[in-house]
Every structure is written in C-alpha cells, then in structure tokens.
Amino acid sequence: MEGGVHGLHLGPLETPADVETCVALMRASDPWKRLRITEDACRRTITHPQREAYAAWRGQALVGFVVLAFQGPLSGYVQLLGVAPAARGQGVGRALMALAERIAFARGPNLFLCVSAFNEGARRFYARLGFQEVGCLTDFLVHGEDEWLLRKTRGPLMATPAAAASPASPAGPR
Ligand SMILES: CC(C)(COP(=O)(O)OP(=O)(O)OC[C@H]1O[C@@H](n2cnc3c(N)ncnc32)[C@H](O)[C@@H]1OP(=O)(O)O)[C@@H](O)C(=O)NCCC(=O)NCCS
C-alpha cells in the first residue's frame, strides 16, 4: 500500500519490534504521557486481538501507526493514531487517516474517534479532515481530563428511508 506521500509505505503492523516502536512512541509523547497511560496499556491497546493495527514506514523506519476497532456500537473507531515527532507535519497522519477511512467506509458509514480536550493541534488536524465534534466526555479516561467524541460520516446506518421505516428494523420508528 502506498500512502500518497513520497516514499511512504503503509501496511499492517505485524512484528513485535514494530509494536515496541509504537509503544515507545506513545510513551514519549502527549497525549499519552500527560494521561499517564502505562506501557502495558499501550501495548495491550495496540495488540488487542479484535483490533486492526496499520503502520507507515519511510524506508525501514516506522514513522506512524493507526489502530482501528470494529466491535461495539461505535463500529469504525480510531483507537490510536500516532506519528513519530520527527515525521510530523509531512502528511503521514493524513495518509494514515486516509487509510483508516478507506477501510472503515468499506464496512460502514462512520468513522469515530476520541481526542483529548487539551490536544488542540490534533483537534485542528481532525477538523481539517472533516470530523465533527459530537460531544464532550468528561473525565472519560482519567479524572480531570475530558475527551471529545468525533465523527466523520457518509450517512445513516440504515442506508435508505425504506430500510429505516421497516417494521423488521430494530431501530426503525414504531
Ligand atoms: C496529530 C498527528 C497524528 C498529525 O499527524 P501529522 O503527520 O503531523 O499530520 P499531517 O502532516 O498529515 O497533517 C495533515 C494536516 O493537518 C495539519 N496539522 C497536523 N498537525 C497539526 C497540529 N498539531 N496543529 C495544527 N494542524 C496540524 C497539517 O498542517 C496538515 O494540514 P494540510 O494538509 O491542510 O496542510 C501527529 O501530530 C501526532 O502524532 N501527534 C501526537 C499524537 C496525537 O495527538 N495523536 C492523536 C491522538 S487522538
């Protein structure tokens, strides 16, 4: 997979060494540092068997990663997105989010994520990508820090008005 950015290669995150590179990136960077996310929690989130992790490489160097989740009510959820500090501002995050969109929108109409209220740069980044802030989850991950729930959508879950109105549809009007 190519990222649309010169010299960038995107693909599934596979090796333990790549996982450890992502863990180290998280451990050294906000928002995870400020939220005091433990090394173990970082590793578990990246390697969770029901999630899908993808990375971006420039040559041999892993320069970013994204983790997606498709379980639960918010299917199509960006669990993690990180770019190595030296590679930021060069289109890597945008390329990883384009990959996340391609994968998620092939399976459903929504892409969700949470971003810390204090993470103003990332909030601007997501706004530029067309995400809308749905609501504020107070004290969501840790006490004293709020998370904004964001959504980018291509339409309702029920694709057609007829499907939404069907009596067989659990979410349809009664
Ligand atoms: C947020 C993050 C993933 C963005 O990745 P990136 O590779 O630096 O972003 P890109 O170079 O692809 O930028 C894409 C666009 O967003 C803008 N942008 C990126 N970071 C930004 C920031 N901190 N503030 C404002 N705008 C930003 C860029 O200017 C660019 O706009 P353009 O395409 O219109 O020129 C990266 O900065 C990062 O890893 N931050 C720390 C971890 C983090 O906050 N992760 C998200 C947790 S929810």
In total, how many domains does the chain have? 1
Measured distance CA(101)–CA(84) in Å, rounded: 21
155 CA from centroid of ligand 1 (Å): 26
Confidence of residue 122 (pLDDT cuts 50, 70, 90): very high
Q: Give the structural domain span for 116.
A: 8-159
Task: Confirm whether 102 is domain-assigned.
Answer: yes
Task: Write down the pLDDT at residue 5.
Answer: 82
- Tens of pLDDT, residue by residue over 149-159, are 999 999 999 87
Mutate to test the pocket of ligand 1, among 34, 54, 88, 97 (most ligand atoms within 8 A of CB): 88
Given a contact cutoff of 8 angstroms between Cβ atoms, the answer to whether 145 and 139 are in contact is yes
User: Is beta strand 77-83 parallel, antiparallel or unpaired with respect to 110-116?
Assistant: parallel
Task: Confirm whether 3 is domain-assigned.
Answer: no
Task: Write down the pLDDT at residue 4.
Answer: 72
Task: Over range 47-70, report the average pLDDT.
Answer: 97
- Tens of pLDDT, residue by residue over 130-174, are 999 999 999 999 999 999 999 999 999 987 666 555 544 444 443
CATH number at residue 102: 3.40.630.30
- Tens of pLDDT, residue by residue over 97-107, are 999 999 999 99
The pTM (predicted TM-score) of the whole model is 0.90
